[in-house]
Structure 1
Amino acid sequence: MVRSAFEGSLKSAYLLQSPATFEERHQQYRHDLFQIALLKGHTKVADLIGIMPENDHKSWRPYRDRLLSEEERAEISSRYPKAMRRALETKWGFTGLIGELSRSEDPLFSGFTGLADGYAMASHILHADIVGTAVPLDRDRRDEARRDAILLAHGVRLISDVHTCLQLRLGVGYRYIGQDPAPLIDAHQRIAALTESFGKVYEDWMGVEYPDG
């Protein structure tokens, strides 16, 4: 869930970074990437239907309707050669967006590369690779004090990350439409107060995990 919030917020920020770049970026997001997704979807559905018996049955109609005609497939492939498709998908991926926003020297995205670590860890969990499966296994093997401390600290961190995404979207959105950002100060103060109400869970975890300092 937090990974989706991060990625959605980042794409919103990239789209609304500047009115000067909005049209081009919106075209890429709304149209170009959609066409590429249609082509990829066609390939996957064709593979599925190809291995199913009686794939002309009515029950498979929703899948067959997702198949492109030969003309449509040829047109999309011609308009978006493989190298272009790969470049667009890389550009609009999390790492690509983080890199471009960080290099833009836009003060709103100063230090943005620091978000990459948390997103990468969430990706490990989502994809259940060796790192993603090792993390919960390690926690389950800890004694109760260590396990409870890290679970609480991690829970607060997830809530904090969602609030960071909210503040990012608000900041970019208000700036894009030229709105007075004064209300954002109140939002920031409310979020800070909520975070403070959770107590020093991170410090408590550090004390349990690293008692020697």
Structure 2
Amino acid sequence: MGEMKAIEDAYDTILENSLTIVRYSNSSLVNVSEKLRKIDEKLYFFAYHYLRFANQRLTFIYFLSNNGNRYDTQIIFRTFLECLTRLIYITYKDSHDGIKTALEEIFIDLSDIQFLRTSTNLAPLSGNTSFPQNSSNMWRAAKTTSEEGNEVRTRTTGKDRSRINHKYSFSEMVREISTSRAGPLAEFNVMLHSYNQASHIAHADLMGINLVEDFESREEDEGYLMSFAHRSSMISDATHLLTIAYKLIYSVVGDALDLAPINNHVRLMDDATKLINDAFYATQAHLYEASDSR
């Protein structure tokens, strides 16, 4: 009973300090927003909307995690990862020219690819009068004529579209980020495990079903610790990623985000996360020992 109380207290510590760190990071953006706008209006627009979207997803992560809903939390965490990975991929570039090129590829080339894919998928609905006829991109894509589609295709070749699509895939962005920069970004590839697990659950494929079955087959105490370990790590990882994104935005405008006011909160969050993870991994020692003896 005492250990479970310690786990619950540690989780509360993670949540409390995460909220403090995120509030500080969000409030710091006002200090560089105008500088960012002057450097590149598109970058300002991109950063503003991606950070807004990421913060909304983080709110859902807090809510679902607090309700003990591990799997839906993982699915939202996957979306959060995709959003911030793209923002980090843009802003970690070593030059403004590199950032400008990446933004053009996202706003123009990648947008074309997504438009064509949507148009192809919705083509069977184009003659359906019950389909919502409004001015949205979804409806426009469904009603795209062959001439309009061909006009989009002439902007880039099929080979170019494949290259851009691959370049901005989650796994490729993570690979480049983790191999191109020292420091915290060098370990960015650890996010692939969380992303892949969440993808299986979101798609309800056999691996996803097996992940859920595995969790639900655990002994009560082990499952309890496993749930806390996974939910705590998601909150901690999300908090660190958001902080990295803000640090990179500061570096784009030639400033440095002052982390002194939140360093102690980061330490408390990380220590509490380690406490919970260590408690869970201790219940898995027999599995590692069995694997090592083979």
How far is the alpha carbon of 1:132 from its aligned partner?
1.3
- Counterpart of 2:216 in structure 1 is 140
- The answer to whether the Cα contact below 8 Å between 1:16 and 1:172 also exists between their aligned partners in 2 is yes
After TM superposition, the structure 1 stretch with the greater mean CA deviation from structure 2, 22-31 or 113-122, is 113-122
CA distance in 2, matches of 1:145, 1:34: 48
2:148 corresponds to which of 72, 75, 85: 72
Amino acid at match of 1:86: S
Amino acid at match of 1:88: I
Amino acid at match of 1:154: H
CA distance in 1, matches of 2:184, 2:278: 28
2:244 corresponds to which of 132, 153, 168: 168
2:102 corresponds to which of 21, 25, 36: 25
Within 5 Å, give how 1:181-196 maps onto structure 2.
181=257, 183-196=258-271
CA distance in 2, matches of 1:91, 1:188: 34
How far is the alpha carbon of 1:111 from its aligned partner?
2.7
CA distance in 2, matches of 1:102, 1:152: 27
CA distance in 2, matches of 1:134, 1:71: 46
CA distance in 1, matches of 2:110, 2:276: 42
How far is the alpha carbon of 1:64 from its aligned partner?
4.8
Higher RCO, Cα 8 Å, sep 6+? 2
Q: How many residue pairs end up in the alignment?
A: 207
Within 5 Å, give how 1:3-152 maps onto structure 2.
3-18=78-93, 19-49=96-126, 55-56=128-129, 59-62=131-134, 64-66=139-141, 67-105=143-181, 107=183, 109-152=185-228
What is the Cα-based RMSD across aligned positions, in Å?
2.3
Which residues of structure 1 form unaligned runs of 5+?
none
- Counterpart of 2:18 in structure 1 is none
Amino acid at match of 2:121: K
Secondary structure in 2 matching 1:101:
helix
How far is the alpha carbon of 1:180 from its aligned partner?
2.7
CA distance in 2, matches of 1:117, 1:197: 21
How far is the alpha carbon of 1:39 from its aligned partner?
1.1
Amino acid at match of 2:87: S
CA 1:147 to 1:98, structure 2 compared with 1: closer, same or farther past 3 Å? same
- Counterpart of 1:180 in structure 2 is 256
Secondary structure in 2 matching 1:200:
helix
CA 1:155 to 1:111, structure 2 compared with 1: closer, same or farther past 3 Å? closer
CA 1:207 to 1:162, structure 2 compared with 1: closer, same or farther past 3 Å? same
- Counterpart of 1:206 in structure 2 is 281
How far is the alpha carbon of 1:197 from its aligned partner?
4.3
CA 1:46 to 1:107, structure 2 compared with 1: closer, same or farther past 3 Å? same
Amino acid at match of 1:56: T
Secondary structure in 2 matching 1:79:
coil
CA 1:92 to 1:185, structure 2 compared with 1: closer, same or farther past 3 Å? farther
CA 1:178 to 1:131, structure 2 compared with 1: closer, same or farther past 3 Å? same
After TM superposition, the structure 1 stretch with the greater mean CA deviation from structure 2, 98-107 or 68-77, is 98-107
- The answer to whether the Cα contact below 8 Å between 1:171 and 1:184 also exists between their aligned partners in 2 is no
